[in-house]
Structure 1
């Protein structure tokens, strides 16, 4: 058995095929498998997004005015705010949705304590009494 890899100028210790770990792709008869591509979204997540795409406009059509009315409000609801976040159990629950303008939605995220005090944010981790 050889003392070094058969690849030119490589001094590493070879495996059974005569090549080191770094150059084993050059061994004859060895097929290197390509890694499988990982999906960016699961099928379940795609289904949830599809459901939300049709549910949001219907929800906002019923509620055209911003429900949060923060100091930066534009008064016209254009987005849906999720009071308990977008966890797997809450994302489709319309009971936790609020119609709001984009500026109010950003205000709620920037002013967590005040928004929680006013009921615009609710922790999904606290036990319900």
Structure 2
């Protein structure tokens, strides 16, 4: 099986796309209660999605290097992700005074989409082409 940094980057972008779709679906569902709630769900899910995008960019942005450097980039990307998520949730609930339940619902659905899409991607990993 051919496994490259480019394949990892593509898989990470697919996961982020799944998070974005789940965030939009949550905002659409929250739109039934009002536009403010829909925007709150977008803010919560958007912060989780943006954090995942930045984590993927940090993990795969430097090209192919040694294992220590790859681990360092992965840890730094994860730290940046959670700083963005916490900052986004703080802005949405404390600064912009958006309703907390839709904000947290958007973030939770985006996080669940991350887990589900990773499970789906892992199930299809064995079905990739091999180059002999």
TM interval, short-chain normalised? under 0.3
Greater RCO structure (CA 8 Å; 6+ sep):
2
Provide TM-score, normalisation by structure 2: 0.26
Q: TM-score, normalised to structure 1's length?
A: 0.26
- Give the number of the structure whose alpha-carbon radius of gyration is greater: 1
Q: Which protein has the bigger strand share?
A: 1
Higher helix share: 2
